[in-house]
Structure 1
Amino acid sequence: MGRGFLFILLLIALPAAAQIYKYTDANGNTAYSNQPPDGVRAQPVELPPLNSVGPQAAPAPATEPSTREQANDAYQVLELTGLPTTEALRANNGTFTVNVLIKPRLQGPHLFRLVLDDQPYGQPGNVPTLQLVNIDRGLHSLAVQVIDGDTVVQQSPSVTFTVQRVHKP
């Protein structure tokens, strides 16, 4: 059984290894054949190797661009809205919300994180409306970051604002 199978494989493989010949026929046309014709001078044709598809290697991981390059490519628009810049923000209990304007939409694993007075504030989230609670009165700066895990993908420009609270004696 083993020899018969080997013989069948050999018969199947022989046509794949056959030689191709090029010649000019009686009408002056160039012709090709797997057998040289009788009485005509035929030249063997060297064929390039056949294309084959093998297992694909995984693509090499892209080199990690610098944070500034990522920031330029990630989002066209990233900014905070809803904060007054010319007058004080009245928040008697120090609680208020801000909105994030982002284009295009927040991508896959990315999250928003507020940065209040150059320090991360609150828990990261994927909702573009963020709340600040019990913020002291006075001058503050606020920005929003888009993060991927511990990596800052992009940060908005900082907005400076003043919180005005009722002072209770």
Structure 2
Amino acid sequence: MRRILTCLLLTLALPASAQIYKYTDASGNTVFTDQPPEGQAAQSIELPTTNTVEMSAPSAPTSDSREAEQTAPYGTLQLTDLPSDEALRANNGTFSVSVNLEPRLATGHRLRLLLDGQPYGQPSNVPRLQLTNIDRGEHSLAVEVLSGDESIQRSAAVTFTVQRVNTGSPALRPPPPPPKPKPAT
């Protein structure tokens, strides 16, 4: 099948390599044609050979070209709005963080949080991301840029501590109401 198709294409290309003739008509216009005119003196035009390019086989990428492909598309990618020296106070474990990103997020790219090294929440194109019901204690948080399902860049991880106040603690309970006076009998 492939040979038949190749022969057909070569047959169609033959007229493209036909002879070209040049002559001047009765009105003085220069005419180029592939048919020699009858009763006219025509000059045969020799065309230069066409340019051809040999197709080379693709080579395996070198480590340098792989590194160039993996360069970060974003000059700045970092989380903000997290305390660095003190605990993050979130009684219900819900808080939000911002992503500082330059240049702006490209079309088709999305942001996803990594909480303690694991993907957290759905990818989003909004640079303000919310975390819900996070346990108290120390955590690490990073953000990654996704293109489809592939991670193309990741920020440095930020370590922080979530402080949640236990409202069931006896120290936080309101004082009991004073006892009612006993009725006099």
Q: TM-score, normalised by structure 2?
A: 0.59
**1:4-153 equivalences in 2 (<5 Å):** 12-13=33-34, 17-18=44-45, 48-49=48-49, 72-153=71-152
On the 8 A contact 1:96/1:132 being kept in 2, the answer is yes
Flag the 1:164–1:83 CA change in 2: closer, same or farther, 3 A: same
Q: Which letter maps to 1:154?
A: Q
Matched, 1:155 2:182: no
CA contact (8 A) 1:101 1:128 kept: yes
- Partners of 1:132 and 1:166 lie apart in 2 by 17
* Structure 2 residue ranges without an equivalent (≥5): 1-18, 22-32, 37-41, 53-57, 169-185
Q: How far apart, CA to CA, are the structure 1 residues paired with 2:86 and 2:137?
A: 12
Which of structures 1 and 2 has the larger relative contact order (alpha carbons within 8 angstroms, sep 6+)? 1
Residue type of the partner of 1:119?
Q
CA distance in 2, matches of 1:73, 1:145: 11
| Larger Cα-atom Rg | 2
Residue 10 of structure 1: how far off its partner (Å): 7.7
- Label 1:164 to 1:71 Cα distance change in 2 as closer, same or farther (>3 A): farther
Deviation of 1:16 after TM superposition, in Å, equals 8.3
- The percentage of aligned residue pairs carrying the same residue is 52
- Measured against aligned partners, the alpha-carbon deviations of 1:65-85 in whole angstroms (never above 9, x if no partner) come to 75x655533110000000001
Secondary structure of the corresponding residue to residue 105 of structure 1: coil
Contact 2:97 2:128 in 1 (8 A): yes
| Residues paired across the two proteins, number | 127
| Residue 17 to residue 72, structure 1, CA distance change in 2 (3 Å) | same
CA 135–69 in structure 1, closer or farther in 2 if over 3 Å, else same: farther
User: What is the root-mean-square deviation in Å for CA atoms of aligned residues?
Assistant: 3.2
Question: What CA deviation, in whole Å up to 9, does each residue of 1:104-157 have, x standing for no partner?
Answer: 111111100000001000000000000000000000000000011221010000
Structure 2 residue identity aligned to 1:83 = L
Provide closer, same or farther for how the CA distance between residues 10 and 147 of structure 1 changes in structure 2, counting only shifts above 3 A: closer
**Unpaired stretches in structure 1, ≥5 consecutive residues:** 1-8, 20-46, 53-59
Q: Deviations over 1:3-37 (max 9, x none)?
A: xxxxxx98612568425xxxxxxxxxxxxxxxxxx
Flag the 1:88–1:104 CA change in 2: closer, same or farther, 3 A: same
Contact 1:90 1:165 in 2 (8 A): yes
Distance in 2 between the 1:146 and 1:119 partners? 14
Q: Is residue 84–residue 160 contact of structure 2 (8 Å, CA) maintained in 1? A: yes
